[in-house]
Chain A
């Protein structure tokens, strides 16, 4: 019983309830189904990106190229639509999403090669890759938002509804279910956890560790791309800074979900709560009409306090 109360899932659950209570007292709208569904819709963009990042973190690595992977995938997809519209090509709208996802997969592949084969620390390699994609995008677009718009599919996934629920939520939960299944029930998931706990022992157990690492980074790249595509669908355009606000909340959501940043273990369910928590925290601060600086301070302080609570209750035996 005590263990249940102390688990990160319980703590973050209680925090979510507290946030909703604060939000509800500030604005009666907060508790309405419309508002909460909208929050879940926004959570989905963050949640999809975080799923890929979770795999990388369980490996004991980190992906700092998230912002520009999102942005470049979105730019690629919207440009394809834009170019297609100019050339009156009917296929381009269908191709937008696959091309966006392919961009993400390719970036993930390069990330994985750097980390697994060149053995550059992920922290610095993915940072460099982020800078290169940024440079490429600026070089190609000339620093302006590229002409184009989201394809109908992107728009429908981002803002459409089915049976009263946002499509984005289905996408998020679907990808989450797949990720959770992969992580807990399959060879690849077991291999990821093993590598996160010690790559030497995993390698000596006959696991092709480098291949697994590359694969996880490719998956992460595609998740980031999907997040970027949904976001572009939501805004019906791509813009240079669209990915920037996502990196830190993604890491925070994963950690608040009870996953150790050091790797070796990870919880998809915990992370779902973490994502909802981060989204609600942002929205309650805007409901309270908090100015941006104060918002940042509270944001940081709440994350810190949550993690302090985890540390308090989960003292390692020395």
Chain B
């Protein structure tokens, strides 16, 4: 029912105010900028290569996973297996990404392909099996976790160090390579796609699936694509984690699933679908990680850190509540 979702009365906005959705992107970026400033201020090394590269590196994995999660969320779905896909690809990377340059290349491609395959399986279960995404990925997540444990029962393995150094240090001696990698991958995959009807249909089916269908879009194809993208980006995250830690660990998954959802929401996407930007989501991931880093440097007792992380998460997601509490039409806040 589109009619119900349309404002009964339109509020004319002044030419100076931001368009309605812009705050969703602006807010995480502004908060991230502030937190970044705080981090530099309290970091013993200040704004230096030695402080920037670790800062950039530590959030890349989460950023990849969050971007993957975002594509499913924007279609009004949820991927609870995304952490498991990350763990599986991380475990595979620790087995495959070493040896001769050719072997390494094949290994990287294989890991990414497995990620896409996991995503495709999720997509098939959701689209053709007609299982709710949250439940389908709950089940497939268990399968992927099991596979990851078979590949790598205990943390360890071997990852090519030269490639790892290349990706986790700096370009031109000062710019974190990991950031370039992150934006290059996202740009190469999403930018062209966002300019096609298929890419736009991800947003369209999340916003109103039946309207999108009646308009001639193919919801099945779009949903399948979203899950494949999620698998691909989770594999990117798993690969990067392997480069970062030089090993594989099958048990890293679950916290990434939860944090990816948090990053997506903090980054301005709506769990109701149809709304959000990739840039905002990346900012959301960096926001979460920056907060953790700041807490380490402020000398907060380690035992208090999980509590503060939780409180910060609650505070962040409550920002949207201000609008709800101040809304003068009670119907508007209801679904």
- Whether the complex brings A and B within 8 Å at their CB atoms is answered yes
B314 nearest in chain A by CB position: A128
Q: Please, which residues of chain B bring their CB within 8 A of the CB of A133? A: 310
A122 nearest in chain B by CB position: B271
CB–CB A301/B139 < 8 A: yes
Determine the interface band of chain B, counting residues with CB < 8 A from chain A: 35 or more
CB–CB A128/B310 < 8 A: yes
A124 within 8 Å of B by Cβ?
A: yes
CB–CB A200/B334 < 8 A: yes
CB–CB B306/A138 < 8 A: yes
Q: Please, which residues of chain B bring their CB within 8 A of the CB of A301? A: 139, 143
Cross-chain contact of B313 among A128, A139, A252 (Cβ < 8 A): A128
Q: Please, which residues of chain B bring their CB within 8 A of the CB of A209? A: 334
CB–CB B139/A135 < 8 A: no
Give CA–CA (A308, B313) in the complex, Å: 35
User: Least Cβ distance of A249 to chain B in Å?
Assistant: 10
What 0/1 readout, one digit per residue, does chain A (303-318) give for beta carbons within 8 Å of chain B?
Answer: 1100110010001100
Which of A39-47, A48-56, A101-109, A288-296 makes up part of the contact surface?
A: A288-296
What 0/1 readout, one digit per residue, does chain A (217-231) give for beta carbons within 8 Å of chain B?
Answer: 000000000000000
CB–CB A203/B330 < 8 A: yes
Cross-chain contact of B142 among A114, A296, A316 (Cβ < 8 A): A296
B147 nearest in chain A by CB position: A297
CB–CB B143/A308 < 8 A: no
Q: Please, which residues of chain B bring their CB within 8 A of the CB of A304? A: 125, 129, 131, 136, 139-140, 143
CB–CB A308/B131 < 8 A: yes
Q: Please, which residues of chain A bring their CB within 8 A of the CB of B265? A: 121, 124
Q: Please, which residues of chain B bring their CB within 8 A of the CB of A123? A: 78, 261, 271
CB–CB B310/A131 < 8 A: yes
From B146, B308, B321, residue with most partner A Cβ within 10 Å: B146
What 0/1 readout, one digit per residue, does chain A (243-271) give for beta carbons within 8 Å of chain B?
Answer: 00000100110010000111000000000
List A168-220 residues whose CB lies under 8 Å from chain B. Answer: 198-200, 203-204, 209
Determine the interface band of chain A, counting residues with CB < 8 A from chain B: 35 or more
Give CA–CA (A121, B266) in the complex, Å: 12
Give CA–CA (A159, B289) in the complex, Å: 44
B331 within 8 Å of A by Cβ?
A: yes
Q: Please, which residues of chain A bring their CB within 8 A of the CB of B318? A: 114, 118, 120
User: Least Cβ distance of B92 to chain A in Å?
Assistant: 14
CB–CB A131/B309 < 8 A: yes
A119 in contact with B131 given A294-B146, A308-B125 (CB within 8 Å): no
User: Least Cβ distance of B253 to chain A in Å?
Assistant: 11
A129 within 8 Å of B by Cβ?
A: yes
User: Least Cβ distance of B108 to chain A in Å?
Assistant: 24
A12 within 8 Å of B by Cβ?
A: no
A131 in contact with B334 given A120-B321, A293-B149, A304-B125 (CB within 8 Å): no
CB–CB B138/A248 < 8 A: yes
B interface residues, Cβ below 8 angstroms from A: 4, 78, 125, 129-132, 134-136, 138-150, 153, 258, 261-262, 265, 271-272, 303-311, 313-314, 317-318, 320-321, 324-325, 330-331, 333-335
17 extra interface residue pairs, beta carbon distance < 8 Å, beyond A118-B318, A296-B142, A307-B136: A60-B335, A114-B318, A118-B321, A118-B325, A127-B261, A127-B313, A132-B314, A139-B303, A139-B306, A199-B334, A200-B4, A296-B145, A304-B131, A304-B140, A307-B129, A308-B131, A315-B130
* A-B interface, 7 closest residue pairs, ranked by CB to CB distance from nearest: A135-B307, A300-B142, A131-B310, A296-B146, A297-B146, A293-B149, A132-B310
